Amino acid sequence: MPEVVRQRKIAAGAHEIWSTISAMQAMLEWYPSARKVEKLEGPDEGVGRVQRVRYKVGTRNATVDQEVTAWEPDRRIELRQLREFLGTKQAPLLARDIRTVIEIEPPDEADLADADSCLVRVRSTWEPVGLKGRLATETVIAPRAASLADTMIASVTASCEHD
């Protein structure tokens, strides 16, 4: 299963980082090209929330529906893509089981010098569908996943390291 992983140590506590990434509207800061995010069903916070993110792909409007499948405050959020639309038509299935996991790791007890720093890791995985999906992995899916991870980590860093 292909994956993209990005991580960075951020000079902030786990709770501050969590506050920056867990709110649904925070996605507008770290989801590349996001224009709007809205809850479709489920709780405002936590497992079962289904959200719709509207964004741009070039000049085209696009939409992705995601479900929160893991919610561990100050530690981990996992999003699973349910479906994607380009304009009003459902996008062709190039990958399935697309997941994005955001993890916050506080320093271990041996690293007391960095007690106010945490490691933030963003990992995206997917399962290509057919030959088109394998080709899209290199040209579309992996670059988009990398852009999401890079933007998310840069946004959290800028928001939390305000000194």
pLDDT at 91: 83
pLDDT at 3: 95
pTM of the model: 0.88
pLDDT at 29: 82
- The phi and psi torsions of 113 (rounded to 5 degrees) equal -65, -25
Q: Which domains are delineated in the chain?
A: 3-160 (3.30.530.20)
HSE-CB for 50 with a 13 A CA cutoff: 9
pLDDT at 56: 85
pLDDT at 107: 79
Q: Residue 52's beta-bridge partner residues?
A: 38, 65
Q: Report how far residue 131's alpha carbon sits from residue 118's, in angstroms, rounded to the nearest whole number.
A: 39
pLDDT at 114: 59
pLDDT in tens, the chain (163 residues): 899 999 999 999 999 999 889 988 888 887 778 899 999 999 999 999 999 999 887 888 999 999 999 999 999 999 999 999 988 888 888 898 999 999 999 877 555 555 688 999 999 999 999 999 999 899 989 998 999 899 999 989 998 876 5
pLDDT at 111: 58
Q: Residue 152's beta-bridge partner residues?
A: none
Are 91 and 85 in contact, with CB atoms under 8 Å apart?
Answer: yes
